[in-house]
A and B are shown apart, each in its own frame.
Chain A
Amino acid sequence: MSQVTSVQAEIASEDADRAILYGFIGRMLQAAPSNEDLQAIRGLQSDDTPVGQALAGLSAAAESATAENLSRAYEDLFIGLGRGEFVPYGSYYLTGFLHEKPLADLRATMSRYGIERSEGVSEPEDHIAALMQMMEGLISGDFGQVATLDEQRQFFVEHIGSWAGHFFKDLSATDTDAFYAAVGALGRVFMAVEADAFAMTE
């Protein structure tokens, strides 16, 4: 497990935070957090910035959450009996079906960056958690070198910007679980900040 050390020292502090947030949101959507994770989230310090407020909301929601409850909520939200409340794949969000062109486009990009799915994993690569962690890797340099801002923008625009904001907005409105709603709110704020920030250097 690589922790904060995976974020290279040579990247600017705001970029390091971006990588941290992408990685964190990705992990929250990959599997339910442990009680240890929840303890850390409860202890988050926050400020009055938009991201800080969203983290404060998540921290507050973690107060009454347990790993057991969140494990069940994760199933209901993302897995369910046959299908959860959400189908968090880019292709599904954009076309109504899995395995459509958005996935093919992502695979082409992944191949360009040398990102591969591990053997034995059959889930489509355009799961929101995978995309968040790909952005984390591009920013922090986990793919061999830090991706330029232009490369980051291109990846974001092509594979995330068109649908992730909608997904997080929908998740933020769920009645199923307050913690995951707060994850949705955090993701929504972060995606909006990213979109605006990328637009500033176009």
Chain B
Amino acid sequence: MTDKKTKDTADRRNFLKLAGLGTLAGGASIVAGGAEAVEAGTDAGTGYRETDHVKKVYETARF
């Protein structure tokens, strides 16, 4: 990583923290209880990007 990239990354982290991201006190509670539209993949974690390896299923709202 170049110095500029390191600095950019640090700046970005600081910016996000100032915006309120990184310290969400209620983070866990707003996640709990919601209906998940995105489900865990069936064969995730191999590091490959091909469909068969990282199959991801999601459902949109039933209109």
| Chain A residues with a Cβ under 8 A of chain B | 1-4, 6, 12-14, 16-18, 20-21, 23-24, 26-28, 30-31, 33-34, 36-37, 40-41, 43-47, 49-53, 55, 78-79, 111-118, 121, 123-125, 127, 129-130, 133-134, 136-137, 142-145, 149, 193, 196-197, 200-201
Contacts and interface: CB of A to CB of B under 8 A. Distances in A.
A18 B21 contact: yes
A21 B31 CA distance: 8
B22 to A, nearest CB: 4
Contact of B54 (A3, A134, A143): A143
A18 B21 CA distance: 7
Nearest to B56: A115
Interface residues on B, range: 35 or more
B30 A24 contact: yes
Contacts, number: 189
B49 A118 contact: no
A2 B38 CA distance: 9
A3 B34 CA distance: 8
A26 B47 contact: no
A42 B19 CA distance: 21
Given A30-B37, A134-B58, A200-B15, A20 B29 contact: no
Interface in B19-63: 19-41, 44-61, 63
21 contacts: A17-B16, A17-B23, A17-B24, A20-B24, A24-B34, A30-B35, A33-B34, A41-B30, A44-B30, A45-B25, A50-B20, A55-B26, A113-B56, A114-B56, A117-B59, A127-B61, A129-B61, A130-B60, A136-B38, A143-B44, A145-B45
A23 B33 CA distance: 12
Interface of B: 5, 8-9, 11-13, 15-41, 44-61, 63
B36 A2 contact: yes
Contact of A144 (B17, B31, B49, B59): B49
A193 B38 contact: no
Contacts of B55: 114, 116
A41 B23 CA distance: 16
Given A13-B23, A17-B21, A142 B33 contact: no
B21 A21 contact: yes
